[in-house]
């Protein structure tokens, strides 16, 4: 067995039968629901419990992150949207038309996160536009976390169903 065979065996591109894909999926959604607009969710709950300095910290971190997101969207939003659409459509064609399983797996990871990005950008815009602070800010962040968790649950379900279909269709070992 040469080096190439060892690497191919180690980095199996049959994603849905690879444990690392499922670990990456779980870590991605766990992180996405923990970091809402770049703010750890425990900071949101601590600000609600204690008020005072933790609430001021929360407002400051959210202000910085929303301003950053909105600045990037204003300056290069059209280019980023075009690039995202190009990449996603390329993954759809490669994965579902040409049947490349790795492209299917990447699409099933990236597409739901793009929806999370749009929902997060809309929430950041609303927070900035309406100058939401205090209890309203915490409520908006918890609501955003719920939306992210719902998108994540749907994504995990669809990915698991598609992965099981692929594994049953082609067998676990190819």
Tens digits of residue pLDDT in 148-162: 999 999 999 999 999
Using pLDDT thresholds of 50, 70 and 90, give the confidence band for residue 106. very high
Say if 94 falls within a structural domain: yes
Q: Is 131 inside a domain boundary?
A: yes
Asked whether residue 136 is assigned to any structural domain, the reply reads yes
| Residue 123 tokens, joined | 């929430």
Place of tokens 């591109």: 13
| Mean pLDDT on 75-98 | 97
Give the residue numbers spanning the domain of 124: 61-174
Minimum mean pLDDT range among 2-11, 91-100, 149-158:
2-11
Residue 24 and residue 32: Cα distance in Å, rounded? 12
pLDDT band at 102 (very low <50, low <70, confident <90, very high): very high
Residues β-bridged to residue 49: none
DSSP character string of 62-118: HHHHHHHHHHHHHHHHHHHHHHHHHHHHHHHIIIIIS--HHHHHHHHHHHHHHHHHH
Q: What is the pLDDT of residues 123-152, one digit of tens each?
A: 999 999 999 999 999 999 999 999 999 999
Give the count of domains, the chain. 1
Residue 111 belongs to a domain: yes
The mean pLDDT value for 26-48 works out to 96
Q: What is the largest CA-CA distance in the chain?
A: 63
CA-CA distance, 88 to 112, in Å (whole number)? 11
Q: What are the distances in angstroms from CA 28 to CA 24, 31, 71, 134?
A: 6, 5, 25, 29
pLDDT at 174 over 60: no
What is the band of 87 on the pLDDT scale with cuts at 50, 70, 90?
very high
Q: Is residue 45 part of a domain?
A: no
């Amino acid at each position: 067995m040469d080096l190439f065979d060892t690497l191919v065996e180690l980095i199996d591109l049959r994603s849905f039968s690879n444990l690392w894909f499922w670990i990456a999926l779980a870590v991605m959604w766990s992180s996405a629901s923990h970091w809402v607009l770049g703010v750890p969710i425990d900071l949101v709950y601590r600000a609600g419990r204690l008020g005072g300095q933790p609430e001021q910290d929360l407002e400051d971190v959210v202000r910085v992150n929303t301003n950053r997101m909105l600045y990037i969207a204003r300056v290069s939003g059209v280019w980023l949207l075009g690039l995202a659409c190009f990449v996603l459509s390329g993954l759809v064609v490669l994965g579902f038309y040409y049947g490349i399983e790795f492209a299917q797996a990447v699409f099933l990871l990236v597409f739901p996160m793009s929806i999370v990005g749009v929902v997060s950008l809309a929430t950041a815009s609303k927070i900035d536009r309406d100058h939401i602070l205090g209890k309203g800010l915490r409520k908006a962040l918890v609501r955003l976390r719920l939306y992210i968790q719902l998108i994540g649950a749907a994504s995990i379900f669809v990915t698991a169903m598609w992965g099981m279909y692929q594994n049953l269709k082609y067998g676990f070992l190819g």
